[in-house]
Structure 1
Amino acid sequence: MKLKSLVGLLFSSTSLFAQYKIAGDKITTPWADKVDETKPLNVYPRPQLERENWQNLNGLWDYAITPIDTKPSQYEGKILVPYAVESALSGVGRRVGKDSTLWYKTQVDLTAKNHEVILHFGAVDWKTEVFVNGKKVGEHEGGYDPFSFNITPFLNKGSKQEIVLSVWDPTDKGPQPNGKQVSNPHGIWYTPVTGIWQTVWIEQVPKSHIVSTKHTPDLDQSALVFSSLVAEAQDGDLLKVEILEGGKSVQELSFAPNTEQRIKLQNPKIWSPSHPFLYDLKVSLVRKGKVIDQVKSYFAMRKISMKADAKGIQRLMLNNEFLFQYGPLDQGWWPDGLYTAPTDEALKFDIVKTKEMGFNMIRKHIKVEPARWYYYCDTEGILVWQDMPSGDLGGNAWDMRLGNISGKNLEKKRTEASENIFKREWTAIMSTLHNFPSIVVWVPFNEAWGQFKTKEMTELTKRLDPSRLVNSASGGNFFNTGDILDIHHYPDPQMPDPQFFGMDQVLVLGEFGGLGLPIEGHTWQDKNNWGYQSFKNKEDLKKRYAEFVGQLKNLIPLGLSAAVYTQTTDVEVETNGLMTYDRKLTKMEGLKELHQILYNK
């Protein structure tokens, strides 16, 4: 290479990196400085359907913010994908709002090589239109479910391809699920998240390829119910499924694609928090003895159910044994990435720390995480209660009085469009997350936030996945539906009265605690931070928390099956986390030993 060309290349690269720096002046996590702006989160994003041939498109893209439905005449600068435009790690740190459109543009080096090219988005909040080389490929509504497009027909003959996205997100000014995001952050409501917030990537697949697999364990029958969706399958094609244990093949069978099979296992190893054993899967599409397509996956043998104890009180059962489930309310927010963990190491950190603290469960609170988060729950052995992100709030009542179990006149009357948005995204979320064995409970509603047609939504949830339990309304308006009755009580632990509520639902404490301790230098803002009950030092905080654990222990023999402590980390002005928002400090030590009294039989 000539010296002049080399200097030009170096100058161009230096200029590119000079355009990126962390935005704003808020606290950051230890991983912020480890973010690689050339290819952030450069790990395969879909561990339940993994291929070798993929291309990560994360990195610096062009961006612009325009009046709604207006194309940009020029782009304003660089944004680091996949961090939301409001976040510090995006390098932008700007609000968008309902009256504006966020635009992205990037150039990709790509040649199809006789394959179909699939463009994947882990999550984009909220309404997305995708253009390739100036032509519209498609659109998607939903901030929490992955989507993809076959862009093969839109590719140029050369290797240079242009991808453009337009995104509109009304945050809390529209009917869509938005979780804790609001236009005016305060209290328990946080900064908006607009646009791309999970990995963007491309994979090349043959015309006939495996689109998805579905695994449902049947522990009582020592069987795995397996099905798949295969695109462009031909007569005579076979789907070969190989089960591996520690890298060694233990079972192999072949059958027609797009059929459901019950695969019997001999003496299956059981997954639990104390022994999170995973079987590996190798799934191949075979045509005339030749492998056309192949993916890697995994599954676990475990069962979640409910059963009455000797007193007739329903209990949560894991693998046909009662296990008290205890974990933190985990909101999955980051001071530097908002919805997006800075790195894959950071994503795993919260789960590992939760397990180290002696919890066996996490309630994932009105947010859906990237697939790798659930993968780490699977590998570490953490049970997950998965909330549906709430939205379209207001216009209904919330009555927490024990005894008001009819829910009469308390539900929100949502528009048909709002109901359909909820149903469509909840269905997509459940389908996307079905294969992760760590998930044991679905939670459609939280505290009457947008709660509507509770019985219908509970029945929909049960119909979509009969293999898991449904907590219809965590702390919400109570109906005689679903498997779980869940109250919220701050700060001290309480439980529903089994004599009053009857014996047909599991009794749990879906939120309690919220003990606050702001630590200087580790808060979102310098003052006006809060918790449900605030303390000035770690010693008093630990003493009060230990009292709560003792109270929980006394409630278990009375019928309590699970409890959720608020919360994993501080979040913005909330300082009631077990860890600070920047994850640099843990506020209480010795929790694992303290929690053992909850699990001793």
Structure 2
Amino acid sequence: MLMQGRVLVVILSLLLITSDIYSQRNENWSPKNLSIPTRWTTGVSSDSPLPEYPRPQLVRKNGWRNLNGKWNYKITQTESWPVTYDGDILVPFPIESSLSGVKRKLLPTELLWYRKKLGPIKRLKGEKVLLHFGAIDWQATVYLNNVEVGRHTGGYTEFTIDLTKALQNSNNELLVKVYDPTDKGIGPHGKQVLNPQNIYYTSCSGIWQTAWLETVPEIYVKDIRINPDLDKTAFTLTLKTSEKSHLCQAEIVVSESGKIVANVNGPADSTFIIKIENPKTWSPASPFLYDFQIRLKYKEKIIDQIDSYAGMRKIEVKPDNFGFNRIYLNNKYIFNLGVLDQGYWPDGIYTAPTDSALCFDLKAIKAMGFNTIRKHIKIEPARWYYYTDKLGLLVWQDFVNPNQKLPEGAKIEFENELKETIDQLYNHPSIISWVLFNERWGQYDQGRLTKIVKDLDPSRLLNGHSGELLYVNNQLRDRSDNPYQGSDMADVHSYPFPRNAPKLPGKVQVLGEFGGIGVPVEGHFWDDVAVGWGYQGAGNIDTLKEYYRKMTDSLVKLEKQGLSASIFTQPFDVESEQNGLITYDRAIIKINPDTLRKFNSFLWGTTSDSSFILSKQFLSLQYLAFPTYSEKRTLFENGRRDSTFLRNLGISAVRHKDTLLATRVTNQYLKVIKDTFATENLKAILFFTNSTNDSSFRVLLRNRERVNAVLGKNTAERYVMRIISSEYILPYLNDSIINWGQIEKIIPQYGELAEEEIFSSKMISYLNKKDWNNFSKYYMLYYKRAMPSNRSKFHVNNMSWQVFLNSSNPEILKFAAKVMEKNIEKNDANSPEAFDTYANLLYKIGNRSEALIWERKAFELSKNPEIKQNLDRMIANQKTWE
């Protein structure tokens, strides 16, 4: 019997990864400050992480070497080559991840260096040695033996460098320099940002996909392009060779389950038409793939041979018998029932811990009864797409959005990476649609760009804009005048409940995002102290199930009204978002997959396809109950003291207002944590700290620089000053006559922070009383302390405007002008209101010429009539403060 009050959830247990979990580990390496592990975390080998062949569509069985593993790393502020190194980093995990062994944010002012000693590299005469990277975020320069051998810009696409000319016969040393400003630069960065919150996540820098070497002949196959043509029952194949392809012949052998079904020969630089009799089609219900073997010959001798595969499928939009435009796969209408998959991991961030983990996500999605994935503003490793091909999942592939502010150079970079993305993913039958823009994130030139995408790949659908119509709680947000130009789809986002997209000529109606129902599962949070984010909270598992059932009922009705696709947000929790069907650590599924599959079967016949059988083999289910708060207290009293438990109990104690227990638990927590200044520990310390008597308060007070280096500038000061104020100032502010002398007498000696807090409190108190002389006095005292560190508690522009209106003291007015100058430089570089305040202060102290310059800037930005009135007064030498 389960105890009353406990929450029931379903736990996923993968049956197929035992060997992965128990792979050999190097005991000198372990994940750094891991918040929550996945079941695969312990299976990561520091000697050979992610050892699988990284390029399933272009396989050379011999002559390759995986470079994943421990590399030396160094972070510098300058371009000077490292002489010493900071330690080891585990490639291919981004430096910000636990699995890298470093877990450190890379700042826009820093460079990240990698070093790998390769030793001697064996090759035959005439052979070349290629270095491949699946992805390096964002800008990489590669050196071999102190010689620059190549560069690449773009955080999501693969690249190859020929190392042959720089190779030495004995030892070889590889050096990689990485620059990644993330959202502070011009490159596409997706949802990763330097300071994540809500729908934005942890940044990922450096090598984050497999690095590997390959030995190839002098003339070799560099790439292939395969186009299926179901109507003509044929594949079209084009080879791209390294050089001199006109001297070579090519042979293409196509097999079906080991039996040869086609064999063609011809000059290597020609286009091959490969007829298939009675072809088997690729679909989610039957994801059949043909095996390809491509042999490159010179004078009848095979000089290069690769293995590949392809699926025979056709995708198009056309009207059904009722006049609704539908998505047709292989000449049959198929409802695209999908999820918004973001591809984040608590241990590896952008990089799945193991290949089994990478595949698990896809199997879980299909086992829940979905047939489509919208891969959301991220490009995955090649093996992810290989598994979507093998398992039969339709993919809507987002391009990674440009920097939303579109700084100079961002458009060029976005378009370069867009073209690289299409080239890289072109052959995957699972990808049926490109998604150009998401919710106006950096949107520009949509008509021109949709034409570019269609010209580069006419074989797929194009969603020119997913979520141009965005509804949140039935409220429509801003939209452009022509949202669906160049698109095959009319796409709407609707949170939380679904709605239909507009019916437009030639376009299919799709629901690009909906759902987002939050259900936090205690013990499985990325960040214990963060409030779970979602468009709507379900509160518990039963409510989530009921919401999902109602949403499915709505989709069934909308489908009859022309809706042809829906994308549910989302399959997995991600960092602070707890609105997934499965927890971030892939441990708990919040609705039984049998139930999900039953609901989903009303839109797509999931119970009759392979996903039903797959789920039975793939998942075993058991019920799990979490201990109540009272049971956790008992565990604590009985001696449980591990840091994860203490952090969780301490947070629960604070939320239950159990002050005495919270203090005891916090003190124990500070004793057992290994690294006080790890991000997750500091966040917990901030949450625990509510009094100057708390031991955690002393950690913040005495280690401000170290705390700020991890959590951001002024974080420690803000918390310290808030607590000082709550204990020693706020209780007295309700008195009709405030005895400031008494407050200053009883406040402990916390130095300049306490004094700054008193100045700010006096400033606001006198502002409320309209005592302008004292307000101006304490404005000056407060901002002398607050502005150098740029940590004003208040809106600087609002405070300074009051000084302008109500002070006649030249010294204070000049000081306020300097405050506004610094505020514009640091915070309000594009604010017409800040320009207006600065201009008026300059004008009042007699600097008319400079004031006019800033007031004109303010009016040009805002076209505000009040600012225009001030400008006219300045021009006419009239007062603006009366």
Whichever residue aligns with residue 585 of structure 2, its letter is D
Asked if 1:522 corresponds to 2:527, the answer is no
2:383 is aligned, of 366, 372, 380, to: 372
Q: Answer 1 or 2: which has greater strand percent.
A: 1
Q: 1:391, 1:480 → 2: CA distance? A: 19
Asked if 1:51 corresponds to 2:43, the answer is no
How far did residue 268 of structure 1 move? 0.5
Q: Which runs of 5+ in 2 are unaligned?
A: 1-24, 469-479, 607-882
Map 1:562-601 to 2 at 5 A. 562-589=565-592, 590-599=595-604
How far did residue 320 of structure 1 move? 1.1
Whichever residue aligns with residue 122 of structure 1, its letter is G
Map 1:276-425 to 2 at 5 A. 276-394=287-405, 415=408, 417-425=409-417
Map 1:170-569 to 2 at 5 A. 170-233=181-244, 235-394=246-405, 415=408, 417-476=409-468, 477=480, 478-498=483-503, 502-527=504-529, 528-569=531-572
Whichever residue aligns with residue 385 of structure 1, its letter is W
Hey, what does 2:680 align to over in structure 1? none
Q: Deviations over 1:181-225 (max 9, x none)?
A: 111110010000000000000010000100011001011111111
Higher-RCO chain (CA-CA 8 Å, sequence separation at least 6): 1
Contact 2:402 2:411 in 1 (8 A): no
Q: Which runs of 5+ in 1 are unaligned?
A: 1-15, 395-411
Contact 1:45 1:199 in 2 (8 A): yes
Using structure 1 for the length normalisation, give the TM-score: 0.92
Q: 2:94, 2:74 → 1: CA distance? A: 13
Q: 1:600, 1:592 → 2: CA distance? A: 9
Q: Deviations over 1:232-261 (max 9, x none)?
A: 235542110000100121111111112222
Contact 1:571 1:577 in 2 (8 A): yes
Q: 2:247, 2:43 → 1: CA distance? A: 50
Q: Deviations over 1:431-465 (max 9, x none)?
A: 00001100000001100000110011111110110
Q: Deviations over 1:490-528 (max 9, x none)?
A: 000001232xxx322111000000011110110111241
Asked if 1:89 corresponds to 2:68, the answer is no
Q: 2:487, 2:221 → 1: CA distance? A: 34
Q: 1:540, 1:568 → 2: CA distance? A: 17
Q: 1:183, 1:232 → 2: CA distance? A: 43
Contact 1:268 1:301 in 2 (8 A): yes
How far did residue 313 of structure 1 move? 2.3
How far did residue 68 of structure 1 move? 4.0
The count of aligned residue pairs is: 563
How far did residue 530 of structure 1 move? 1.5
Asked if 1:36 corresponds to 2:45, the answer is yes
Whichever residue aligns with residue 156 of structure 2, its letter is Y
Q: 1:164, 1:219 → 2: CA distance? A: 47
Asked if 1:112 corresponds to 2:115, the answer is no
Contact 1:233 1:257 in 2 (8 A): no
228-237 or 430-439: bigger deviation = 228-237
Q: 1:536, 1:27 → 2: CA distance? A: 22
Q: Deviations over 1:548-578 (max 9, x none)?
A: 0010001001000100000010000000011
Contact 2:93 2:348 in 1 (8 A): yes
How far did residue 17 of structure 1 move? 4.0
Whichever residue aligns with residue 597 of structure 2, its letter is K
Q: 1:135, 1:96 → 2: CA distance? A: 25
82-91 or 217-226: bigger deviation = 217-226
Contact 1:69 1:100 in 2 (8 A): no
Distance 1:375 1:454, change over 3 A: same
Using structure 2 for the length normalisation, give the TM-score: 0.63
Contact 1:19 1:78 in 2 (8 A): no
Q: 1:75, 1:546 → 2: CA distance? A: 55
Q: 2:605, 2:223 → 1: CA distance? A: 40
Hey, what does 2:149 align to over in structure 1? 137
Q: 2:46, 2:368 → 1: CA distance? A: 33
Hey, what does 2:776 align to over in structure 1? none
Contact 1:313 1:503 in 2 (8 A): no
Contact 2:100 2:348 in 1 (8 A): yes
Q: Deviations over 1:384-425 (max 9, x none)?
A: 00001113113xxxxxxxxxxxxxxxxx6x63x222111111
SS in 1 for 2:115: strand
Q: 2:604, 2:572 → 1: CA distance? A: 23
How far did residue 475 of structure 1 move? 0.5
Q: Answer 1 or 2: which has greater helix percent.
A: 2
How far did residue 18 of structure 1 move? 5.0
How far did residue 264 of structure 1 move? 1.4
Q: Deviations over 1:74-120 (max 9, x none)?
A: 10000000000000000000011110000000111322332100000
Whichever residue aligns with residue 169 of structure 1, its letter is D
Whichever residue aligns with residue 90 of structure 2, its letter is L
Q: 1:25, 1:355 → 2: CA distance? A: 29
Q: Which has the larger radius of gyration?
A: 2
Asked if 1:98 corresponds to 2:108, the answer is yes
Hey, what does 1:77 align to over in structure 2? 87
SS in 1 for 2:202: coil
Whichever residue aligns with residue 50 of structure 1, its letter is V
SS in 2 for 1:540: helix
Q: 1:384, 1:143 → 2: CA distance? A: 21
How far did residue 311 of structure 1 move? 3.4
Hey, what does 1:404 align to over in structure 2? none
Q: 1:128, 1:329 → 2: CA distance? A: 30
Q: 1:568, 1:57 → 2: CA distance? A: 32
Map 1:158-177 to 2 at 5 A. 158=170, 160-177=171-188
Contact 1:312 1:503 in 2 (8 A): no
Q: 1:241, 1:31 → 2: CA distance? A: 39
Whichever residue aligns with residue 141 of structure 2, its letter is E
CA RMSD in angstroms comes to 1.4
Hey, what does 1:3 align to over in structure 2? none
Hey, what does 2:8 align to over in structure 1? none
The structure 1 segments of at least 4 consecutive aligned residues displaced by more than 6 Å after TM superposition are none
Q: Deviations over 1:286-335 (max 9, x none)?
A: 12221100000000100110001233321111111111001110000000
SS in 1 for 2:201: coil
Contact 2:377 2:399 in 1 (8 A): yes
